[in-house]
Amino acid sequence: MLENLFQLWKTTGIYKMIYNIGEQATTFNPEFYKTLIMYVIVGVLMYLAIAKGFEPLLLLPIAFGMLLSNLPMIKDSSAIMMHTEFFTNPEYMTDGKYINVGYICQHGGLLDLLYLGVKLGIYPPLIFVGIGCMTDFGPLIANPKSILLGAAAQFGVFFTFVGALVLSALVPSINFGIKEAASIGIIGGADGPTAIYVTKSLAPALLPAIAVAAYSYMSLVPVIQPPIMKALTTKKERLVRMPQLRPVTKIEKILFPIIVTLVVVLILPTTAPLVGMLMLGNLFRECGVVKQLTETASNALMYIVVILLGTSVGASISAEAFLKMSTLKIVFLGLVAFAFGTAAGVLFGKLMCWATKGKVNPLIGSAGVSAVPMAARVSQKVGSQYDPTNFLLMNAMGPNVAGVIGTAVAAGTFLAIFGI
């Protein structure tokens, strides 16, 4: 009886977490504490998602995916749902560098199959279709100058890209290559799908850390941005009232996604998957004749893909891949990128305020990051703290949607230069 109970104990995940089970012998695992640390991180992410409501649609599936992949399993057990080695170890890859889809389909678990959508670049463009369906580009069309604020907010992306390279040259303990620096810089756009899309091509080994950093900062936009906005503006500037935007005709809204796709993709073809799908979704919304497609893309399709993306990305975040010093460096540099992007948008807003003799509220510059519509709501919230009757939301939506396009263009630039 006791022997049977001991055999049952040896099949549990707790036993696997505490001991290394080898072919010859079973030894104590001195690094089992790393699994416990991952459980703490999972708990923090779930707390932010559930208790604080910070980007719960993505943080929650990411956190649960992390939990699933860090449950200790017996080697070669059929219960293993994620094998990160299939995507990172050259032994399991074709010619040592290409994903062996056939092998994964034959030997992989559920999350391995779902993760193919990340590695093959399927999920981010599909999410962009949904974003396009849910986004009104009218404020940008009505005030084209706001695209400058969206462009200014991309300064954080390129500043951190250069900064990571400089630090790598000056600090021996930091050794990010040019592709890794580009992937880290994209975090500054506060756009999780774009960060994943770039990183899976340029620096796949950094994908777990960059995904967590990107979505964490997306969720913390209401916490990080207001202090920066208040520090860089005066009370007089925060009280600036902006004129109501002009009405935008239906033909303008229909032509906008078509023209943007033609112009951007002809200049920078690598942006086609992201910008093209974003504009396709917006065309669905504005043409008025495909209501069923609009509803499906902005609801059912969008949320199904969010579940698949979040869970599979979370599952790729194992203790071995995540608990490294490089992760802390990435999280710090990501924060720098996001903070500098916000600051650059606000400072350019101050410049436009001066140039227009007080007709632009600098607070809307912070909305130039890609977190739509959260960043625009933060601009409205901070402005209303000083004048509850000052409605900045629609004016802030212009830079916000411009930021979505700007981050996609920045991503396409990195992909074009550093190559896929």
Q: What is the pLDDT of residues 100-116, one digit of tens each?
A: 888 888 888 889 999 99
Of the candidates 324, 249, 253, the residue with the CA atom closest to the CA atom of residue 286: 253
For residue 89, report the phi and psi dihedrals to the nearest 5 degrees.
Answer: -90, 120
Q: What residue type is 127 in one-letter code?
A: I
- Which of 275, 281, 123 lies closest to 197, judged by CA? 123
**341-370 residue pLDDT tens:** 999 999 999 999 999 998 999 999 999 888
* Residue 80 pLDDT > 80: no
Other CB atoms within a 10 A radius of the CB of residue 258 amount to 13
**CA 16, CA 29: separation in Å to the nearest integer?**
9
- Quote the CA–CA distance of 196 and 202 in Å, as a whole number: 10
DSSP H or E stretch at residue 21 = strand 19-21
Band the pLDDT of 260: cuts 50, 70, 90: very high
Domain residue ranges in the chain? 124-418
Percent of the chain surpassing pLDDT 90: 54
Model pLDDT for residues 179-231, shown as the tens digit of each residue: 999 999 998 888 888 999 999 889 988 888 898 888 888 888 888 999 999 99
**Given pLDDT bands bounded at 50, 70 and 90, which one contains residue 252?**
very high
Q: What is the mean pLDDT of residues 371-382?
A: 89
The predicted structure's pLDDT at residue 30: 63
For residues 339, 340, 345, 348, the Cα torsion angle rounded to the nearest 10 degrees is 140
**Placement of tokens 């649960």 in the chain:** 64
pLDDT of residue 311: 93
**Rounded-to-integer distance, Cα 310 and Cα 256, Å:** 31
Residue 23: the pLDDT is: 47
- pLDDT(120) > 80: yes
Average pLDDT on 225-245 reads 92
Instruction: Say whether pLDDT at 420 is over 60.
Output: no
Whole-number pLDDT of residue 87: 84
Phi, psi of 28 (to 5 degrees): -65, 135
φ, ψ of residue 94 to 5 degrees: the values are: -75, 130
- Supply the pLDDT for residue 32: 74
Report the run of H or E that residue 74 belongs to, with start and end: none
pLDDT band at 327 (very low <50, low <70, confident <90, very high): confident
Q: Residue 113 is inside which H or E element, if any? A: helix 110-119
Residue pLDDT, tens place only, 145-166: 999 999 998 998 999 899 889 9
* Mean of pLDDT over the chain: 87
Read off the amino acid at residue 160. T
Percent helix, strand and coil across the chain, each rounded to 5?
Answer: 75, 0, 25
The pLDDT score that the predictor gives to residue 186 is 92
CB atoms within 10 A of CB 211: 26
Chain length of the chain? 420
How far is 107 from 105, CA to CA, in rounded Å?
6
Which token pair is 227? 């202090």
Q: Nearest to residue 403, comparing CAs of 225, 283, 246?
A: 225
Average pLDDT rounded to a whole number, residues 51-58: 87
